[in-house]
Structure 1
Amino acid sequence: MCVVRDECVQEMRWCALGALLLALVLVTQACGPGRGVGRRRGPRKLTPLVFKQHVPNVSENTLTASGLTEGRIDRNNTRFRDLVPNYNQDIIFKDEEGTGADRLMTQRCKEKLNTLAISVMNQWPGVRLRVTEGWDEEGHHASDSLHYEGRAVDVTTSDRDRSKYGMLARLAVEAGFDWVYYESRAHIHCSVKSESSDAAKYGGCFAGDNIVQSSSGKILKLSELQVGEAILALDPSTNQLIYSEVILFLDWHPNQRNLFLNFELKSGRTLTLTPAHLVITGSLNSTVTVFAKTLTVGSILIIGNRDDNKFEDTIVRVTQVYRTGIYAPLTSVGTIVVNDIIVSCYAVVDSHPLAHFVFAPIRLTAEIKSYMYRLWQTYNQGLADNFSNVPKSSIQHHGIHWYAEILYKIANNFIPWRILYT
């Protein structure tokens, strides 16, 4: 009992240290360019969109916009429960059908729409936002329309003044819609990423069918990997391949469907992970970490195996795929070899050293726990044996690890946008 209490006290102390380290990082960032604490920005002039312009300047169903369609939702579909009604009094819903369908949308769409409603009232006092089309259950749009998924809305101003629509489109971009299109003289089309898209959440992860090599010689799928396993990784301090312990999962959602990038390499190897994950690229002599979404055909990845052989391989194809199950193991050294490809354990922040630094308290806590457990084994062999028989998966934290989630939320508000995944 004393051991458990002391362990909790130690963990609290290390978490407090983590908060202090993070504060130091944030203060340092605040002194430089970007979104620093206490920095005042002057008003930024907004430029209206022109007719037929869309932001970003790519197709709606591409990764950097609102992403792939996931299929039509009707009232009998299990995904229908994911749609939420919007009863914001500052928004007028046309609701031609009289069914309330225009009020139904995904939570992400609702949040962006409510933000836009505030912007409209601030821009034009006395004018409200008007939704002419929301979720479509009657088949009025093209077969791949995001209206069928509650991820798109068509909007105007309540006064229907078409001279305002260019600025309305710009306000929609500022409100955070993932794709905005000045589609018609009669309305602005706005859409958002799927709720299962990693860009609508925190962090980056791997698909569960990727494999890793354990120190016991076993080849494990990430869906089978457990905390405590030692798996092949790269030690950045020595540039040597070693076996490093998995101390926790930054994200563990075995039943969640998510959008991934699938990279096919010249050697036949593949890697499936989310766009926000950090990947090691460059050459054997000079490597850098970049977001997976920046990799293209021709980019170089570094291959490593347990014989400590490393060589370069080239990406020959990049596709978007959906998979069920997302996993983000964190090793002691902060790297991992997945499908023989060396990658970082981190995501969201475009700096592997910075990410590894702010997770130092977690690594120290894991070391202390390991040391205390070894002591426990030494002095309480029988009890320790019973504890070791508990399946590791039974104590697995489901979802995003609380420490990672806090860091991602704080970073989104304080760390300069240039190093954050957007």
Structure 2
Amino acid sequence: MRLPLVLLWLGAAAACGPGRGFTRRHGPRRLTPLVFGQHDPNISENSIQASGPAEGRITREDEKFRDLVPNYNPDIEFKDDEGTGADRLMTQRCKERLNTLAISVMNQWPGVRLRVIEGWDEENAHLEHSLHYEGRAVDLTTSDKDRSKYGMLARLAREAGFDWVFYESRSYIHCSVKTESSMGTGAGCFPSGAVVRTEEGPRDIATLRPGDRVLAADENGKLIYSEVLTFIDRDPNATRSFVQVSAENGVVMTTTASHLLLLAAAEGWRPAFAADVRVGDVLLTRGPGGVMRPSRVVTTSTVVRLGVYAPLTRAGTIIVDDALASCYALVRSHSLAHAAMAPLRWMARWTASKDTPRGVHWYASALYSFGDFVLPSSYRYR
């Protein structure tokens, strides 16, 4: 099957598939302003489901400073009290969300522009672990400084894609975003040091090559050995934020936030993004006799690790660190992702190679990018 046909099929699946994620809205959705003191989502800013933990202050001498980008959007007014242009500096993700919000503001209130009163901070004006120090947070008003608009401004900011929005003050709203590293490169991955199990014994995932056979699970939930066909993503030198999920039987799974884990459910398993796993959810872990053993999640946390590896097995599943995971990411449905990746599995079978190129596989990158346009937001990792 050629790539265009697969993309058309994926679009059709998104349009016709069952479930509430595919419901079509009839008419515009009514937006509800935030009230003073409210934040959305209703969790801590530093939760992995929101903007995530601080990763460290960025100074002008820091190597990460070059990752901050200036925003010269003429539709945005920057206060720039310092006169250094610091308020224009931000991460690429923050810039994209801000530019989207600027359009929404002009559409909501013709003649009014978005106003940034605080962006990246280098003058210690915030609390110790503020995301302003990383260019991941902005404080906003409207250009007319009409405080009656700020509740709706906060709602528009959330709709524009900011990961955490807080109607923090009567004078402004606070918005922040996830790190670029936590969003990944388009594929869910495991770090160097993650353990897989081959027929010869346990191995570091970094040593895997196409043709190796690793422990996985078939569609009935039975443990099997499945061939590694290729890598959806592979970069030994990348440093990234990972979600670490610990179960009561001692199993600890480490993966990127957008990766799909396969949790225990009445019907066998259910897919969940790693970022959405909660204490009390049940991991499926390696058990004796070719069956999996359920174990409840007791903690989740965020860690930074070196290396990203996303092997693609023929089964589409893999046991990593003794817990069951999908080989896929970004799309909430394991079965949909597995079907859409069928051509890649077919291509890998007929172009067998021990080569392990670095980066995201071109097919996966194209498919995930296309999915941003055809899949409802409830089916995508955001």
The TM tier, using the shorter chain, reads over 0.9
Matched, 1:250 2:210: no
Q: Is the 8 A contact 2:57 2:134 kept in 1?
A: yes
In 1, Cα distance between equivalents of 2:99 and 2:126: 24
- Could you tell me which runs of 5 or more consecutive residues in structure 2 were left unpaired when the two chains were aligned: none
Matches within 5 A, 1:206-217: 206-215=190-199, 217=200
Tell me by how many angstroms 1:201 deviates.
4.8
- 1:232 aligned to 180, 200, 215, which one? 215
1:401 corresponds in structure 2 to: 361
Q: Is the 8 A contact 2:222 2:291 kept in 1?
A: no
Matched, 1:130 2:130: no
Count of residue correspondences: 381
Matches within 5 A, 1:287-302: 287-302=269-284
In 2, Cα distance between equivalents of 1:406 and 1:344: 19
User: TM-score, normalising length from structure 2?
Assistant: 0.92
Tell me by how many angstroms 1:253 deviates.
2.5
Q: Deviations over 1:32-88 (max 9, x none)?
A: 677879x78522222221111111111111111111100001000010000011111
- 1:415 aligned to 366, 375, 380, which one? 375
In 1, Cα distance between equivalents of 2:294 and 2:38: 41
Structure 2 vs 1, CA of residues 313 and 49 (structure 1 numbering), >3 Å: closer, same or farther? closer
SS of the residue aligned with 1:223? helix
Identity percentage over the alignment? 53
Q: Is the 8 A contact 1:35 1:414 kept in 2?
A: no
- 1:320 aligned to 285, 297, 302, which one? 302
Tell me by how many angstroms 1:99 deviates.
0.8
Tell me by how many angstroms 1:193 deviates.
0.7
Tell me by how many angstroms 1:127 deviates.
1.3
- 1:189 aligned to 174, 183, 190, which one? 174
Tell me by how many angstroms 1:29 deviates.
2.9
Matched, 1:268 2:250: yes
1:377 corresponds in structure 2 to: none
SS of the residue aligned with 2:328? strand
Matches within 5 A, 1:106-145: 106-145=91-130
Q: Is the 8 A contact 1:26 1:415 kept in 2?
A: yes
Q: Deviations over 1:291-313 (max 9, x none)?
A: 22333333322233696353333
Letter in 2 for 1:213: R
Q: Deviations over 1:197-225 (max 9, x none)?
A: 12x6533221222111223x142211222
In 2, Cα distance between equivalents of 1:300 and 1:46: 35
Tell me by how many angstroms 1:124 deviates.
1.5
- 2:348 aligned to 350, 366, 373, which one? 366
Structure 2 vs 1, CA of residues 213 and 145 (structure 1 numbering), >3 Å: closer, same or farther? same
In 1, Cα distance between equivalents of 2:237 and 2:36: 42
Letter in 2 for 1:208: S
Structure 2 vs 1, CA of residues 299 and 43 (structure 1 numbering), >3 Å: closer, same or farther? closer
Structure 2 vs 1, CA of residues 66 and 283 (structure 1 numbering), >3 Å: closer, same or farther? closer
Letter in 1 for 2:196: V
Matched, 1:219 2:202: yes
Q: Is the 8 A contact 1:283 1:312 kept in 2?
A: no
Matches within 5 A, 1:271-290: 271-282=253-264, 286-290=268-272
SS of the residue aligned with 2:120? coil
Letter in 2 for 1:265: A
In 2, Cα distance between equivalents of 1:203 and 1:24: 20
Q: Deviations over 1:144-183 (max 9, x none)?
A: 1011000111111111111111111111111111111111
Letter in 2 for 1:214: T
SS of the residue aligned with 1:396? coil
In 2, Cα distance between equivalents of 1:328 and 1:61: 26
Structure 2 vs 1, CA of residues 285 and 182 (structure 1 numbering), >3 Å: closer, same or farther? closer
User: TM-score, normalising length from structure 1?
Assistant: 0.84
In 2, Cα distance between equivalents of 1:41 and 1:201: 34
Letter in 1 for 2:109: W
In 2, Cα distance between equivalents of 1:261 and 1:111: 24
- Could you tell me which runs of 5 or more consecutive residues in structure 1 were left unpaired when the two chains were aligned: 1-13, 374-391
